Amino acid sequence: MKFLLVTLSLLLLFSCNNDAIRLKTLQSEINFLNAKNDSLEKEIQSIKPGLGDLMLEIQVHHNKLWFAGKNEDWPLAQFEHDEIMEILTQAEKIETDRNEVKLFRVMIYPQLDSIQLSITQKNTEHFTSAFTNLTNACNNCHTNTKFNFNKIVIPDHPPYSNQEF
Ligand code: HEC
């Protein structure tokens, strides 16, 4: 009986010890993964474009969109519209620390829908008024977000000389 009790106590002690070791290993694995996660997060932050970089891209497509529509080059206008949409959607996904991107839905998507309609209908007159509204939308947001010194206008010449419109 005494022998059995000693054996049982030893077994219990051994298994507790084993659990403690497993718990310690698990904890150090969790610490390692947390540290890795932090360093990946820092790396992502350092390589992701800022909202200003994405806006610069939008600025170029806004310009090209105007000359494509004005010259009734509807496939090119469609392409430029889609590029602006793509960048805005990308900004919504990656600029999670910028509240301004939450305004896209109300402040600029309706104007882009209107541009889309004018392209689908190949309607130059509608395109011209929709483009004016789009440009106003750019400025409305800049004003609302205290970036009103970035004034966007309807361009009077294309951004590059090496592309035909
Ligand atoms: C919902 C808000 C919003 C809308 C809509 C918007 N912008 Fe912006 N824009 C911003 C913010 C915020 C900044 C400042 C970004 C920063 O902190 O660098 C900015 C900055 C800019 C800049 C300055 C970039 C630079 O580095 O010189 C340009 C150019 C620009 N926007 C163009 C446009 C154009 C063109 C449109 C419309 C097709 C537009 N934006 C629509 C919010 C908006």
Cβ-defined contacts of 53-56 (< 8 Å, 24+): 54/87, 54/90, 54/91, 54/95, 55/150
pLDDT digits 0-9 by tens, 57-72: 999 999 999 999 999 9
Confidence of residue 10 (pLDDT cuts 50, 70, 90): low
- How far, in Å, from the CA of 5 to the mean position of ligand 1? 77
Question: How far apart are alpha carbons 18 and 115 in whole angstroms?
Answer: 68
**C-alpha Rg value of the chain to the nearest Å:** 29
What CA–CA distances, in Å, run from 161 to 37, 81, 83, 143, 164?
45, 20, 20, 31, 8
- How far, in Å, from the CA of 125 to the mean position of ligand 1? 26
pLDDT digits 0-9 by tens, 75-112: 999 999 999 999 999 999 999 999 999 999 999 999 99
